[in-house]
Chain A
């Protein structure tokens, strides 16, 4: 089980390296799609079916948005190679963080011990034990999301609202430029 997970994560790391290093942007977007779909499979192996459904839907929509932004504009041509100093600095910084990170993860509890077992009176144990009785919902993830921690979901809805508002505002002047050509009401 751990070997299958390790192999899948290694595959997604390879796809991520391809996405970052290739000069053609369209190839980069396709590799990003590979990372996302592999991640959905990894989530199913980690017993998180809820997350896998959301990940597949979100990955499809983000791929469509990125491909439409790339094709038709000159992003497809390869980018000019950057300075060597930037690349060396990037590799050095990433290397330092990797060394300290691997040192830290070797002191973590072994993979397979859930975070709620690592200390006493974790809230998740209460949610699993009393979730069905308190809320009446057999899906404990939904019960946590919409009953025990509903305030966080309100925050998420507000963030999504503001992000969409920002995107619509940034793209809006285009309609007014076109209305000078076509005498229409701006939205």
Chain B
């Protein structure tokens, strides 16, 4: 059930990318898809009643390995979030450039005004 809600988030982003006519709206829909994918990766690594994978001074080793959530998807999603920000700035830079060249954010008008 929870996985299906996460899939719904990704699919809403996909619908936005396909249907939007404004380049900024396409960027926003791509960001929603990225959020959905990150959420899915962390959901897969969750353990019921789990604790964060950080050791305190008083934690016993056996109790820790039995109770901590999976650290590997968290490490991958961490880098992915920061990369998502870098790619977002590149996409917004392209949108701003297109606006300066064609005067509009609408992709159907940009297709018409070539050159």
Contact status A10-B44, CB under 8 Å: no
Q: Does A175 contact B (CB under 8 A)?
A: no
Main secondary structure of the interface of B (DSSP, over half): helix
Q: Find residues 116-173 in chain A having any chain B CB closer than 8 Å to their own CB.
A: 116-117, 123-125, 127-129, 131-132, 138-141, 144-145, 149, 152-153, 156, 159-160, 163-164, 166-167, 170-171
- Binary flags per residue of B72-108, CB closer than 8 Å to A gives 1, else 0: 1111111101111111111011111101100011100
**B27: nearest residue on chain A (CB-CB)?**
A66
Contact status B21-A79, CB under 8 Å: yes
Contact status B35-A35, CB under 8 Å: yes
Contact status A90-B18, CB under 8 Å: yes
A residues bordering B, Cβ < 8 Å? 1-2, 5-6, 9-10, 12-13, 16-17, 19-20, 25, 28-29, 32, 35-36, 39, 42-43, 46-51, 54-55, 58, 61-62, 65-66, 69-70, 73-75, 79-80, 82, 86-87, 89-91, 93-94, 97-98, 101-102, 105, 108, 111-117, 123-125, 127-129, 131-132, 138-141, 144-145, 149, 152-153, 156, 159-160, 163-164, 166-167, 170-171, 174
Q: List 27 A-B contacts (CB under 8 A).
A: A6-B1, A10-B5, A20-B15, A20-B29, A32-B31, A47-B69, A48-B42, A50-B52, A51-B42, A58-B84, A66-B24, A66-B88, A66-B92, A79-B21, A105-B7, A108-B3, A114-B45, A124-B72, A138-B56, A139-B53, A140-B68, A140-B71, A141-B74, A144-B71, A160-B82, A163-B83, A170-B90
